[in-house]
Structure 1
Amino acid sequence: MEILELPIEFEFNGQKIQIYPSLIIDNNDLTLVDTGYANLLPLIEKEIRKIGYEMKNLKNIIITHYDEDHIGSLYDFKTKFPWVNLIASEIESKYISGELKAERLVQAEEMLDKLPIEEVEFGKWFIQQLKNIKHISVDQKVQSGSKILDGKCTIIATPGHTSGHISVYFPSIKSVITGDAAVNENDKLVIANPHFCLDIEKAKESLDKIKSLNAKTFYCYHGGKLTL
């Protein structure tokens, strides 16, 4: 089993951004972790092909949590590759499917009236971006401790950034895919944007949990791979 990071660079809202979705390779089967903003499918597909793999071998997509930069292209992936097995936590699956209103949308709407006047337009735009995310049903709902990919990796509940956030632990290769439970900032694992954390204390606990795992390599969606 091998994990490769997919460096995806693009312009978003007038800024250059780089994210690092992870690609899990098991024999010749592929599992993508998180799908980027809307309309990023072509860039992610190009990167996968560039490293020598075919999209016909994409078997699973794991979503760490319901945020626009992680699930924006999920609907496009599932539409183009309908055989793909979509994996998410029990909690996040309710937002992905539209069964419940997303926590991030609730947070953004509650914050709108408190924003400085110069940030109100951005706040409205951000809310609309969240409303534009297309809902889709989850095929495989997991919980903390669930074994996936033939038991080769373990789901770790890492709430705080969102309530149902998950990370993925690979004991045999001492690696963790962190989602937004940890980001690589100046070669250190830190909490992703504390202002967006729904529960900062749980986010701190989740970061400590990740650091306590028997792992040497951390695949961070923001900041890229960190090897200790």
Structure 2
Amino acid sequence: MTVHLIPITFDQQGTRQTIVPVLLKDEHRLILVDCGYPGFLPLLEDAARERGLSLDDLTHVIVTHHDMDHMGALAELKRAYPSVEIIAHELDEPHIAGRQKSLRLEQAESLHERLPEERKPQAESFIAFLRSIEPASVDRIVADGEVLPWCGGLEIVHTPGHMPGHISIYVQSAGIMLAADAVVIEEDGKLGIANPEFTMDRRAAAASIERLSRYAIHQLICYHGGLYEGDAGAGLRELLRNERGESE
């Protein structure tokens, strides 16, 4: 089993940003965890090719939650590779499939009403972008604690807070935690809460950090920041202390 980080760097509103989807490969499967913004399929294909991989071999896509930078390219990816099986948590599936409105869109629309007039045009542009995200059908629904028997065992770890249906993935055979947006790596190299002002439930996010800290993590990989350089358990416990201190 091999784990391939495929960082994709891009410009967004004049700011250089990077996201880090992950490819997991064993003898029979190639699994992509999250797929970036709309239009990112060529970037994913190029990033895979640079690592000697081809999305022609892709068997599964695991979507950790339905934010636009995690599922934006999902529909185009499914069209290009129709045999790929899409996997998501049971709470997120209705939003990914488009049967329920995006929670991020609901949040943005609610916030828009409280903004000063000069900030509303930018917010309206963001709302329009969220409305343009194309849904995609989910082929397999997973629940907390389920272990997918691939790549040495992929444990589904429900880590709500950022969104209710957010999941992390623990690669059991290697002690690797794919944390998605449960935590991020800040510019100073420390762990932080992903977009704390947009986190749906801050208390749930803290509980998810505590849960992650109980795992034996050899490597911690964040969607924003990539591979954490340090003791993952210690870093998570420090973040938890800071987070609980701020909420008191």
TM interval, shorter chain, is: over 0.9
CA distance in 1, matches of 2:25, 2:204: 31
| Distance of aligned partners of 1:124 and 1:149 in 2 relative to their CA distance in 1, 3 Å threshold | farther
Q: Which secondary structure does the structure 1 equivalent of 2:203 belong to? A: helix
| Alignment check: 8 A CA contact 1:89 1:165 kept | yes
Give % identity.
38
What's the offset of the Cα at 1:45? 0.6
Length-normalised TM-score, structure 2: 0.88
Partner of 1:192: 194
How far off its partner does 1:134 sit? 0.8
**What residue in structure 1 maps to residue 104 of structure 2?**
104
What's 1:209 paired with?
Answer: 211
Q: Deviations over 1:7-42 (max 9, x none)?
A: 101112232211111111112521111111111111
How much has 1:91 moved relative to structure 2? 0.8
Aligned length: 228
- Cα distance in structure 2, aligned partners of 1:78 and 1:13: 28
Partner residue, 1:166? 167
Amino acid at match of 1:221: Y
Superposed, which structure 2 residues align to 1:1-228 within 5 Å?
1-27=1-27, 29-150=29-150, 152-185=153-186, 186-227=188-229, 228=231
CA contact (8 A) 1:28 1:57 kept: no
Q: Distance in 1 between matches of 2:18 and 2:132?
A: 22
Measured against aligned partners, the alpha-carbon deviations of 1:45-100 in whole angstroms (never above 9, x if no partner) come to: 10101110122211110000010111111111001000000000011100011111
SS of alignment partner, residue 214 of structure 1: coil
Scaled by the length of structure 1, the TM-score of the pair is 0.96
Q: Distance in 1 between matches of 2:174 and 2:64?
A: 20
SS of 2:207's partner is: helix
Give the whole-Å Cα distance in 1 for the aligned partners of 2:137 and 2:86.
8
Relative to 1, partners in 2 of residues 1:76 and 1:190: Cα closer, same or farther, differing over 3 Å?
same
Corresponding letter in the other structure for 1:124: E
Q: How far apart, in 1, do the equivalents of 2:174 and 2:159 lie?
A: 20
1-structure distance, mates of 2:38, 2:56: 21
Q: Where do 5+ consecutive residues of structure 2 fail to align?
A: 232-248
* Residues 144-178 of structure 1, C-alpha deviations (whole Å, 9 max, x = no match): 01111437110000000000000000121011111
Over alpha carbons, which structure has the higher Rg?
2
Q: In 2, Cα distance between the equivalents of 1:122 and 1:223? A: 26
Alignment partner of 2:91: what SS?
A: helix
Is this contact kept in 2: 1:19–1:221, CA < 8 A?
Answer: yes
Q: Which segment is superposed worse, 87-96 or 118-127?
A: 118-127
Determine if contact 1:157/1:166 at 8 Å carries over to the other structure: yes
Q: Distance in 1 between matches of 2:222 and 2:17?
A: 15
What's the RMSD between the two structures over aligned residues? 1.3
